[in-house]
Copies of this chain bind each other. A is one copy, B any other.
Amino acid sequence: MERTVDSFVACMDRTDQPSKSQVDFRTSRQGTICISSIEDVRPAAEALRDLARDLGNLRVAACANIASKMAMADADGNALASDVFGWPGSKDQWWKKPLLALSSPLTFACRYESEPFWVNADGIRTRAPNPLLDKIDLSHFHDEVNAASVIVIPVHLPFGQIGVVSFSPIDEGRSDLSREFDAYADVLEYQGRRFINGYSRVTSQRPWIPRNCRLSKREVECLRWAALGKTDVEIAMILNRSCATVRFHIHNAAIKLEAVNRSQTVFKATQLGYLGSVAVAAPGTHATA
């Protein structure tokens, strides 16, 4: 067990601030944000705002679904960005611009990263190296983010939904958040995640109720290749089966997932994690027969 502990100590990057972070974590638990109905959204957002302000004079921005242009709102339909988090209403209300969600480097990075990170114009700082983030363009960082630096919490949810909570300094000068990130990333992640989780739960209607989606081995196998863009002729060659067989399996999968065509079948299977991160399954699959 000693060996184990040692290796962890070597990994730790915050041992220099033990007492502070402990207190934060305690605070976080007592103020745990719990959203059980739409009425809880407002107080939960206010608590998140207060937490961010008290911890590091930070301002909150949140998006429950980066694929949606819908701004987050409370039970009365008031936008959280302006009414709670205190973003100036003048500056042409960035959170209403649908283009931003599609082009912001922050949104972009959230697609590829699962852990908290912080960003300024000089680069993206993750806990562990992520080469996928290296090629993100930060040249218009300040214009797109409305801050000189920001701590970002990506929140990956079921059904392929991605949310994000970000924290940027209220006084716009600060471009270094390394200290705040080291000290508060964990608590901000915890609270931000629960906030987005709860908000999604009470707002998004999930109309799709799959009856029996126990896909068989072959069905998933065929769907994997289909998701990679292979035609059924190609899949048939890969799996050493007939073309009709491949179609049959995919068709069966479509019935189980209540999908009407191949695209929707792939979509639903992806949402449910059946095809997750297919890095081209092991070679030699054509030797199964």
Interface, chain A (partner B; CB < 8 A): 1, 3-5, 7-8, 11-15, 18, 21-22, 25-26, 29-36, 40, 43-44, 46-47, 50, 65-68, 98-99, 102-103, 110-115, 127-128, 130, 132, 135, 154, 156-162, 186, 190, 194, 197-198, 200-201, 204-207, 209, 214-217, 220, 226-229, 231, 259-264, 266-267, 270-280
Which residues from chain B contact A8 at a C-beta distance below 8 Å?
30-34, 43-44, 47
Which residues from chain B contact A204 at a C-beta distance below 8 Å?
277, 279
6 A–B contacts from the bound complex (CB under 8 Å): A1-B46, A8-B31, A34-B128, A111-B272, A160-B277, A267-B267
Residue pair A273, B197 in contact (C-beta under 8 Å): no
CB distance from A278 to the nearest CB of B (A): 7
Residue pair B47, A158 in contact (C-beta under 8 Å): no
CB distance from A150 to the nearest CB of B (A): 19
| C-alpha gap A44/B272 in the complex (Å) | 28
Residue pair A220, B11 in contact (C-beta under 8 Å): no
Q: A229-B260, A267-B267 are in contact. List 20 more A-B contacts (CB 8 A).
A: A8-B43, A8-B47, A11-B40, A34-B128, A66-B276, A67-B275, A67-B277, A98-B217, A102-B215, A103-B214, A111-B158, A112-B158, A128-B201, A156-B156, A160-B275, A206-B277, A228-B264, A229-B259, A262-B262, A263-B266
| C-alpha gap A274/B111 in the complex (Å) | 9
Which residues from chain B contact A43 at a C-beta distance below 8 Å?
3-4, 7-8
Query: A5: which of B31, B103, B275 is its contact (CB, 8 Å)?
Result: B31
Which residues from chain B contact A25 at a C-beta distance below 8 Å?
22, 25-26, 29
Which residues from chain B contact A159 at a C-beta distance below 8 Å?
276-277
Residue pair A227, B264 in contact (C-beta under 8 Å): yes
CB distance from A233 to the nearest CB of B (A): 12
Q: Which residue of B lies closest to A11 (CB)?
A: B34
| C-alpha gap A276/B163 in the complex (Å) | 9
| C-alpha gap A206/B130 in the complex (Å) | 11
Which residues from chain B contact A162 at a C-beta distance below 8 Å?
273, 276
Which residues from chain B contact A47 at a C-beta distance below 8 Å?
4-5, 8
CB distance from A282 to the nearest CB of B (A): 8
CB distance from A179 to the nearest CB of B (A): 17
Known contacts A22-B29, A40-B7, A114-B158; A275/B267 CB under 8 A:
yes
Known contacts A29-B25, A206-B279; A67/B274 CB under 8 A:
yes
| C-alpha gap A47/B3 in the complex (Å) | 10
| C-alpha gap A222/B284 in the complex (Å) | 37
| C-alpha gap A66/B269 in the complex (Å) | 12
Which residues from chain B contact A11 at a C-beta distance below 8 Å?
32-34, 36, 40
Known contacts A266-B267, A270-B270; A132/B206 CB under 8 A:
yes
